[in-house]
Amino acid sequence: MGLLDPPGFRRNRHGQVWMHLQQGERQLVAQLLDQLAELLAPPEPRQPVDPLEELVGIDPGAVRPADPALARLFPDAYTDPEAADEFRRFTQRDLRTGKLAHLELVRATLERKDPTRLSPDEADAWLRTLNDLRLTLGTRLAVSEDGPQPFLDLDEDDPRRGMYLVYDWLTYHQDRLVHALEKGAPR
Amino acid sequence: MSVAPVEDVEVADRSEVETPWVCIVWNDPVNLMSYVTYVFMTYFGYPRDKAEQLMLEVHQEGRAIVASGNRDAMERDVTAMHSYGLWATVSRSQ
């Protein structure tokens, strides 16, 4: 993959996944990661923390997030609200930790020389983090299956228009990455 | 080491044993069709045909049962789907 190739993710003939992003694109992703990390940051722990609960990863204070974007990142696992709340207390902390770990793996790849080869773990972290960013922006924008037109019809200075262009950029690159990872997989 | 007296052994409710649980994935406007197919192939190990068929069922019907089994296994699957950003729930098979 050379610097003249279009930016994005690509699988080479040896089966390696490479990433090439322009400087401005790296900066954009880094800013989005900062915002997502802030959104995902765990709430202040209750004092005192029960050492046994801490050890087994139970979060007795875990509730359905009020923020719709967070509620989409941490959805109910049961349609019954009581069962969903119970399950959340046992799983939400690990899910949050996992998302933050993927985010940090992605952040580390942005600091390397461009273009850069992604390990399978890094490619997986990119895939999931691109999706978390799209879920967050998509929820904020209330995207539907009607396509891009409603957003392209917005005034030039409407902030949602710019946000949609970012969302669209993330969508394009996530799709490219899926195909890079699939190429060569048995069909 | 001791052996629990027989009367203390909990006998699992038969319906609990026989009624499998399911993992349901729900449609949403953000997740890409290519990504959902990829997740079904990668996580469940489904062949492409089956993964695509399930993805289309989610997309067109609004939901699809993507796995079934005991409750613990379905809770693990749903947690994995949430980690991929898919919207999934556990429920008792109808």
Closest CA–CA distance from residue A95 to any residue of chain B (Å): 6
Closest Cβ–Cβ partner in B41, B87, B91 for A75: B87
Share of chain B above pLDDT 90, in %: 78
Predicted local confidence at residue A186, as pLDDT = 42
Query: What are the sequence ranges of the domains in chain A?
Result: 28-41+48-182
Determine contact, residues B81/B88, Cβ cutoff 8 Å: yes
pLDDT at B17 over 70: no
Q: What is the DSSP letter of A33?
A: H
Predicted local confidence at residue A69, as pLDDT = 96
pLDDT at B13 over 70: no
Find the residue in A nearest to B51 (Cα).
A187
* ipTM attached to this prediction: 0.90
The CA distance from B56 to B60, in Å, is 6
Where does the pLDDT of residue B18 fall: very low under 50, low under 70, confident under 90, or very high at 90 and above?
A: low
C-alpha triplet A119, A124, A125: angle, nearest 5°: 95
Residue ranges of domains in chain B, CATH in brackets = 19-92 (3.30.1390.10)
Q: Does B62 touch chain A (CB under 8 A)?
A: no
pLDDT in tens, chain A (187 residues): 565 678 999 999 899 999 999 999 999 999 999 999 999 997 666 666 777 777 667 777 788 899 999 999 999 999 999 999 999 999 999 999 999 999 999 999 999 999 999 999 999 999 999 999 999 999 999 999 888 888 989 999 999 999 999 999 999 999 999 999 986 554 4
Predicted local confidence at residue A62, as pLDDT = 81
Q: What is the DSSP letter of A65?
A: -
Predicted local confidence at residue B9, as pLDDT = 46
Predicted local confidence at residue A44, as pLDDT = 63
Closest Cβ–Cβ partner in B34, B47, B82 for A178: B34
Question: What backbone phi and psi angles, to 5 degrees, belong to A8?
Answer: 140, -160
Kindly provide the b/e burial profile for residues B48-86, where b requires at least 16 CB atoms within 10 angstroms of the residue's own CB: eeebbebbebbeeeeebebbeeeeeebbbbbbbbbbbbb
Rounded to an integer, the average pLDDT of B8-30 is 73
The CA distance from B26 to B82, in Å, is 11
